[in-house]
Amino acid sequence: MSINSTRRVGVVVALLGAAALTAPAIATALPSTGSLGSSAPEASCSTLSTEATPNGWGIPFTDEKDQTASYSADNVLDKDGSLKLAVDGTGDRSVSYHSAGGIKLSDAVGKAIGFAERAATPTAAFQLRLTGTTGGKFENGFTTLVWVPGPDATPTADGGVHADLQKGVWWSTQNIEGAKDRVSVPLADIVAANPNAVVDHYGVSVGTGSAATSTLVDAVQFNGCTTNFAKKDPASGTGSLGDVFGSLFGS
Ligand SMILES: [Ca+2]
């Protein structure tokens, strides 16, 4: 090996090292660029959430931090696992959220809301954490809208999809215009009565009030984004690093 080729290898190794150091920084910086040029911060779409790489899914609220969900190798409708929601009694709750970036509720209901579930009976609920609602007790208009499976919900014993929940009925944890006393009403009616409502977080949950139970959830759909929950990262987890290498060596 000549001195020149040895030196070239050294340069390549240095480039690889730089790419490895740079790639995570790029990945971390990306979501923040979404806020440029828009009044409400954009929530990035997380198409995959795994035990090692939750991609923004979890519990950002300290008063709910113990109500954790877990990642399971058991499947709903695909082959890579799911999100497991489990409670051990009526006082327990299990939930996972993702930022919705403060999009308008009226815009959110223009796109499909849904998720896949496998449990003996339909169990999981969908949550929309709002601010900007009208008529409630909180100054910032905070409430949570909840969709729960009714008697006509899609069967889930062999895996099923709760689709088009934006057309369904929801109840509100706070009394607000259009949704009072925890009575389920059409989401469209809530939207009409709360024109300034925005969605800060969305999520899936079990409890409070359920007897000990568990369910598997997957393919959570909101605002044009579907998140696949999987137990493990894909085997080709170096894909993004490979792209960096490709751009380095392609230039
Ligand atoms: Ca999955």
pLDDT for the residue 28: 39
Convert the pLDDT of each residue in 44-100 to its tens digit: 899 999 999 999 999 999 999 999 999 999 999 999 999 999 999 999 999 999 999
Confidence of residue 33 (pLDDT cuts 50, 70, 90): very low
CA–centroid distance, residue 11 to ligand 1 (Å) = 41
121 or 4, greater pLDDT: 121
**Cβ(100)–Cβ(221) below 8 Å:** no
What letter does residue 86 receive in the DSSP assignment? E
CA–centroid distance, residue 115 to ligand 1 (Å) = 11
CA–centroid distance, residue 127 to ligand 1 (Å) = 20
Query: Nearest 5 degrees, angle CA 71-CA 91-CA 158?
Result: 45
CA–centroid distance, residue 153 to ligand 1 (Å) = 21
CA distance 68 to 64: 8
Can you read off the two tokens belonging to residue 122? 């339909």
CA–centroid distance, residue 228 to ligand 1 (Å) = 5
177 or 208, greater pLDDT: 177
CA–centroid distance, residue 13 to ligand 1 (Å) = 37
Lowest mean pLDDT among 25-34, 97-106, 168-177, 236-245: 25-34
CA–centroid distance, residue 74 to ligand 1 (Å) = 9
Question: For the residues 114-141, what does the mean pLDDT come to?
Answer: 98
CA distance 42 to 214: 32
Shortest CA distance to 124 belongs to which of 145, 144, 91, 146? 146
Looking at the DSSP bridge assignments, the partners of residue 58 are: 97
CA–centroid distance, residue 177 to ligand 1 (Å) = 37
pLDDT for the residue 8: 52
**% of the chain with per-residue pLDDT over 70:** 77
CA–centroid distance, residue 75 to ligand 1 (Å) = 7
Can you read off the two tokens belonging to residue 82? 């799911």
160: enclosing H helix or E strand:
strand 160-162
- For the four alpha carbons of 211, 212, 217 and 222, in that order, the dihedral sign comes to positive
If one looks up domain 48-230 in CATH, what number appears? 2.60.120
Question: For the residues 118-127, what does the mean pLDDT come to?
Answer: 97
> In this model, does residue 155 exceed pLDDT 50?
yes
Confidence of residue 214 (pLDDT cuts 50, 70, 90): very high
Confidence of residue 183 (pLDDT cuts 50, 70, 90): very high
CA–centroid distance, residue 246 to ligand 1 (Å) = 29
CA–centroid distance, residue 239 to ligand 1 (Å) = 19
pLDDT for the residue 241: 53
CA–centroid distance, residue 77 to ligand 1 (Å) = 7
Considering the chain, what is the average pLDDT of its residues? 85
Looking at the DSSP bridge assignments, the partners of residue 230 are: 50
Confidence of residue 186 (pLDDT cuts 50, 70, 90): very high
